[in-house]
Structure 1
Amino acid sequence: MRAFVVSDYAHPSKIPLTQNAPAPSAGLNYFDILQAQGKYQHQPPQPFVLGSELAGRIAEGSPIPDGCPFRAGDRVFGAAQGTFAERVAVNWDALLPLPENMSYDQGAGLFVTWPTSYEALVGRAEVKPGEWVLVTASAGGVGIAAVQLAKALGAKVIAAAGSQEKLDISVKYGGADHGVNYSTEGWQKEVLKLTGGKGVDVIYDPVGLIRDSLKCIAWKGRAIVVGFAAGQIEKLALNLVLLKNISIVGIHWGAYTKIEPSRVPVVWKELLDLFASGRAKPVVYSETYPLERLADGLAALEQRKTWGKVIVHVRDASSGPKAKL
């Protein structure tokens, strides 16, 4: 079985594709790049297979336990350690049925990004119709999901990204109302102008731009800390939190399974209803990568060249059903 096995920590570009990895195997989002180098907060024991999200069919002969609702041949999406391999061992409770109106490419990037963005906006920020929402890194995986979801909730959305190309993507595929380039000095003034001087009610930030974004937050605004893709964990002066009466809240979706498991099926039902209605739709990057070119896909993600969700085809179309990330 072919798989990307991490036996020694290294940049993904230095990890070869192993031809005889054991099957089944266990464990590409940005954190996969960190995990390959031993820099992520969750590090499986070596050797381990890289990869975290998947979509595909349950294989014939799978050891399906009692109580599992799935059967061989079912189309599913979900998460597991080891998805960059031709076979993956998955806990069935980390799988969901892939909607009939979705391709494997669309399903492969659902499990982490979409519930993160949904719970951030609905459960943590409690976005209301008519509010202004600023989404940073708006063309990325979680960002473009947040843009679509905020629109579905009735908000007015300002997409913020580092290039005009990514702002165009945010408008075309996400439905953003406006776009602001945050690589331009003083971009916050443009946000204030768009909101009539009021500022945004909600900031959704997966990059590490909370401190800069607070310059254009409204009275009683809510800033959601989603992640630190820029690489630096921010330190904030709390005087502005006091003066503007704002809230800063975090979202760690991965912890819900352990700490608040009752919330997980609620979020997924509401998300799947949104997908079925057509009000939200996963966005897949224009170039997909075969398993042999996984390192190229990770490099493009690392260098901020991509938008939407980057997909790896574990099998080509001629070799049977495809499992993808």
Structure 2
Amino acid sequence: MRAVVGRTFGGIDNLRLETVPPPAMVPGGVRIDVRAAGISFANLLFIEGKHQNKPALPFIPGTEIAGVVTEIAADVSTGLRVGDRVCAGQPSGSFAEQAVIEADNVFKIPDSLDFDAATHFPTIYATAYSSLKWRAALEPGETLLVHGASGASGLAAVEIGRALGARVIATAGGDAKIAIAREHGAHDAIDYRRDDFRQAVLDLTGSRGADVVFDPVGGEVFDKSLRCVAPLARLIPMGFASGQIPSIPANLVLVKNLTVIGLYWGYYMGWAKQRPDNALRAKVRGLFEELFSLFDKGLLHPLVDVALPLADFAEGLRRVEQRASIGKVVLRPGE
């Protein structure tokens, strides 16, 4: 099969498109013919060897796929069948024509959901939903501040926040990205290139501030967010696309009764050393049922920025690296 392979850690130029043996079937595994593989900012950290999931060499990057089931291990009892249309998540191995993934991390998708759009669900929508509903307990009527709101993660948080009944304030850079955030459900949108988002959030909330902050950017954005939140606010540092990991001043956490919430979706998918128990696995499967229900109701609109042949993986990665994408960049291994 064809796959994108990294034989050393480094930048995008260290990757090559190669012909490699297909992955071997494993107990509890499902083989998938990959029709679409999503690209995320985390992939850039992964290929540099800076992600918490540091692979052995050589490696195939990519965590989220959609495709068709072609083989199922004999011990799998999740109700999957050969020919099922599915999405799935794995710590690596997705930029390839085939993948073998643990059955617990493979989910049937609605017939109305195409493969490109389905790549949003295994990590992007799942992370937004679990962080906002499970961890932050976002309530109807609360104010949610979403940074990076034109990227796949930010747009997912905007849509999930709107579906949960929150008032959503989004930040993004430039008129086109602001317009997209509004189209996907933001009640208010702030162009951080033109306006001071801290003051704008305070003005929009009558000086009260946001109740929940979803921040995939980090750095100065997180620092300023601490100064435009309401008492008892919850802040979720989802990533560090700025390249800077913020230090959290404990005095501000104390005087405002703030909660800073960590969420590593990989734990729920069984990618960490400590694996989730059966009850948590069932909760994860229920989460995907809820997400697909929201999609069927027309409340989620996964946006694909561009879909590229597998051979154009470098172009796709650079588009994400340069923050040129609006929505998700997808690779199609069959092309």
TM-score, length basis structure 2: 0.88
- Displacement of 1:25: 7.1
Determine the C-alpha separation between the residues in 2 that align with 1:263 and 1:253.
13
CA deviations over 1:285-319 (Å, ceiling 9, x no partner): 1x211111011000010111112111111113xxx
Amino acid at match of 1:15: L
Count matched residues.
Answer: 311
- Find the counterpart in structure 2 of residue 4 from structure 1: 4
Contact 1:13-1:296 at 8 Å conserved across structures: no
CA deviations over 1:10-54 (Å, ceiling 9, x no partner): 312332211x21113799321212222222221221122222110
Amino acid at match of 1:223: L
Determine the C-alpha separation between the residues in 1 that align with 2:230 and 2:95.
43
Determine the C-alpha separation between the residues in 2 that align with 1:13 and 1:288.
20
Determine the C-alpha separation between the residues in 2 that align with 1:111 and 1:273.
15
Structure 2 segments unaligned to the other structure (5+ residues): 26-36
Contact 1:148-1:175 at 8 Å conserved across structures: yes
Determine the C-alpha separation between the residues in 2 that align with 1:223 and 1:17.
40
Amino acid at match of 2:322: Q
- Displacement of 1:245: 2.1
- Find the counterpart in structure 1 of residue 303 from structure 2: 283
Are 1:64 and 2:73 counterparts?
yes
- Displacement of 1:210: 2.0
Which of 215, 233, 237 is the aligned partner of 2:245? 233
CA deviations over 1:240-298 (Å, ceiling 9, x no partner): 2222222221222211242443431232222122112222222211x211111011000
Determine the C-alpha separation between the residues in 1 that align with 2:196 and 2:177.
19
- Find the counterpart in structure 2 of residue 319 from structure 1: none
- Displacement of 1:142: 1.3
- Find the counterpart in structure 2 of residue 311 from structure 1: 330
- Find the counterpart in structure 2 of residue 74 from structure 1: 84
1:120-269 counterparts in 2 under 5 A?
A: 120-172=131-183, 174-184=184-194, 186-208=196-218, 209-256=221-268, 257=270, 258-259=275-276, 260-269=280-289
Determine the C-alpha separation between the residues in 2 that align with 1:49 and 1:249.
30
Structure 1 segments unaligned to the other structure (5+ residues): 317-325
Which of 320, 323, 333 is the aligned partner of 1:301? 320
- Displacement of 1:113: 0.8
- Displacement of 1:86: 1.2
Determine the C-alpha separation between the residues in 2 that align with 1:136 and 1:53.
22
Deviates more, 1:264-273 or 1:113-122: 264-273
- Find the counterpart in structure 2 of residue 321 from structure 1: none
Deviates more, 1:235-244 or 1:146-155: 235-244
- Find the counterpart in structure 2 of residue 323 from structure 1: none
Contact 2:214-2:236 at 8 Å conserved across structures: yes
Deviates more, 1:104-113 or 1:83-92: 83-92
Determine the C-alpha separation between the residues in 2 that align with 1:103 and 1:25.
27
TM-score, length basis structure 1: 0.90
Deviates more, 1:107-116 or 1:273-282: 273-282
1:70-109 counterparts in 2 under 5 A?
A: 70-80=80-90, 81-109=92-120
Amino acid at match of 1:24: P
Determine the C-alpha separation between the residues in 1 that align with 2:208 and 2:169.
14
SS in 2 for 1:224: strand
SS in 2 for 1:250: coil
SS in 2 for 1:228: coil
Query: What percentage of residue pairs aligned between the two structures are identical?
Result: 36
Give the strand-richer structure, 1 or 2: 2
SS in 1 for 2:261: strand
Determine the C-alpha separation between the residues in 1 that align with 2:207 and 2:96.
51
Determine the C-alpha separation between the residues in 2 that align with 1:244 and 1:68.
46
Amino acid at match of 2:236: I
SS in 1 for 2:17: coil
Contact 1:162-1:182 at 8 Å conserved across structures: yes
